[in-house]
Copies of this chain bind each other. A is one copy, B any other.
Amino acid sequence: MKVIIIGGVAGGASAAARLRRNDEKSEIILFERGEHISFANCGLPYYIGEVIRNEENLLVQTPEGMKKRFNIDVRVLSEVVRIHRETKEVEIYDRKNDKRYTESYDKLILSPGASPIKPDLEGVNAKNVFTLRNVPDTLSIKDYVDNEKPESAVVVGGGFIGLEIAENLKERGLDVKLVELSNQVLAPIDFEMAAIVQNYMKEKGIEFYLGDGLKGIKHNTGYSEVELNSGAKIEADMVVLGIGVRPEVSLAKDAGLELGERGGIKVDQTLKTSDSNIYAVGDAIEVIDYINGKQSLVPLAGPANKQGRIAADNVCGRNETYDGTQGTSVLKIFDMTVASTGNNEKLLRRFDIPYEKSYTHSASHASYYPGSSTISMKIIFSPEDGKVLGAQAVGFEGVEKRIDVLATAIRAGMTVYDLEKLELSYAPPYSSAKDPVNMAGYVASNILKGDNKVIHWDEIERLDKEESILVDVRTPMEYSLGTIEDAVNIPLDEMRNRLDEFPRDKKIIVFCKVGLRGYLALRILAQNGFKDVYNLSGGCSTYYPVIEANKEDSPKKKEVI
């Protein structure tokens, strides 16, 4: 059997190695358009930031290594320019020797990846405007920083790459401003969770231009001027575009392979394309979203690597399936960790899937043991059966652990009631006897069972002030340091003696720091005959970051030149 693989990073390299383990005798040729295979894709921003110090560390595997270890014929700087499906041949352009030739195949695996979007705007092709996808891009940016010593940068795009670049340029001493078309960074999480991240990044000195897009870049002597749709202009020495990626489908399209509704290569569960001799994996394909069942583009390394292995197995006559993606992801931003899995509210709303949500702010480990910090967690679940649909968490320690547990729970089809019962490892340096995931389960099931009637952060502003009262049940000390507008203070521990201070003809909203004391207050009131009582879900710890983020939402004005 002769197998040709197009694309030598994540999915392609995984497929090649697995193919050889399955079949020692087959001929395997891997074509890679670039200079490098199997490079540390996700590590590139950290080389710019000098966290990864050795360029060689970016190369996980070399063509020579693949030859020696796996007897695979790796041809770099070799672009497959056409697939002839009828004759089962590919046409290659050898960029190094400027030659064209063809190779036949029995089976073909496509792993072309995705390319960064570079909008057709004024000034984006200048030498101080960059995108980041591969090792040469990385070296260009690093060289520029090392040699030109820019003092300021504008990063366009608030996704993973944008934020990682922003952090790494900041760590290199640059003044960094971030432009994002949406009203929040990090699309996988929802607005109120992103607010926590943005506030933190502002503390670290990153400035934001949210809800604003790139209009063009003017290059003057000594500096460039980034112009936004709003009219704002930002001076900067360099610009990095991290707007997003687009699946590389031109080769597949030209060959007449079917594309999906989202513009990616269409594959079945075995990762076979519309041609039974051609498989496709990685960023270029459409996969099923495990939660909502719709087609989705998921440019992540984990799925790509797993898909490469599955495609290789199926090429060899095994019958493995890829069951869909849940979009689990994690980002380090300075010392903060942001992670999520499953669907967020925006996605569920788009597909009209009903959901309920809950917020918790738990200690990362027993608070009596030094060094704990808060994990802010949101879980989203079905109001009918409590099935977990998604989870988002932000904090400093143990964030990705909880999301990995929740990712596993989602994969298993668990409900919020199952989360209560999870038996997770506990010792004071690591967690609490009731892990933050258990706590999220308790809070969510209290909501579903009607024990905890909640009101969410975005409903506070819409309250009728005449018909409702906000009661801060924290201590007078906490209250004195700031509370929600118009709230009165009746501390939880005094409530049983002050029940007559609660009006019986109004909607009562109780709240505290994280939602726990509010819940206790609600229980006391509900069992004392108060009918219309609600607890602010997640308490001030969910509400305040949004206020804070909105407050500083327009630093534009002071930055306009």
Q: Which residues of A contact B (CB under 8 A)?
A: 10, 20-21, 23-25, 40, 42-43, 46, 51-52, 57-58, 60, 68-71, 160, 290, 300-306, 309, 323, 325-332, 337, 339, 341, 366, 368-370, 398, 400-401, 403-405, 407-409, 411-414, 418, 420-431, 433-435, 438, 442, 451, 492-493, 496, 519-520, 523-524, 527-528
- By the criterion CB–CB under 8 Å, are A339 and B425 in contact? yes
**Which residues of the other chain, B, contact A369 by a CB distance below 8 angstroms?**
43, 46, 51-52
User: Separation in Å of the A446 CB from the closest CB of chain B?
Assistant: 9
- By the criterion CB–CB under 8 Å, are A331 and B427 in contact? yes
- By the criterion CB–CB under 8 Å, are B412 and A400 in contact? no
- By the criterion CB–CB under 8 Å, are A411 and B418 in contact? yes
- By the criterion CB–CB under 8 Å, are A325 and B423 in contact? yes
**Which residues of the other chain, B, contact A409 by a CB distance below 8 angstroms?**
408, 412
Given contacts A24-B527, A433-B301, A524-B24, A424 and B404 within 8 Å (CB-CB)? yes
Closest to A298 in B: B423
Given contacts A21-B523, A305-B433, A527-B23, A366 and B422 within 8 Å (CB-CB)? no
The 4 closest A-B pairs by CB, nearest first: A412-B412, A330-B425, A24-B527, A401-B401
In Å, the complex CA distance between A162 and B427 comes to 14
- By the criterion CB–CB under 8 Å, are A428 and B328 in contact? no
Given contacts A368-B58, A433-B305, A428 and B43 within 8 Å (CB-CB)? yes
- By the criterion CB–CB under 8 Å, are B10 and A433 in contact? yes
Question: 9 A-B contacts, Cβ less than 8 Å apart?
Answer: A20-B523, A42-B366, A42-B433, A43-B368, A303-B423, A306-B434, A328-B424, A328-B426, A408-B424
In Å, the complex CA distance between A325 and B424 comes to 11
- By the criterion CB–CB under 8 Å, are A52 and B424 in contact? no
**Which residues of the other chain, B, contact A43 by a CB distance below 8 angstroms?**
366, 368-369, 428
- By the criterion CB–CB under 8 Å, are A46 and B527 in contact? no
Which of B24, B40, B421, B425 interacts with A368 by CB under 8 Å?
B40
- By the criterion CB–CB under 8 Å, are B430 and A408 in contact? no
User: Separation in Å of the A527 CB from the closest CB of chain B?
Assistant: 4
In Å, the complex CA distance between A69 and B305 comes to 52
In Å, the complex CA distance between A431 and B328 comes to 12
Most buried by B among A20, A160, A420, A423: A423
Closest to A69 in B: B493
In Å, the complex CA distance between A160 and B426 comes to 12
Which of B309, B401, B433 interacts with A304 by CB under 8 Å?
B433
**Which residues of the other chain, B, contact A434 by a CB distance below 8 angstroms?**
302, 305-306
Given contacts A40-B368, A524-B24, A425 and B412 within 8 Å (CB-CB)? no
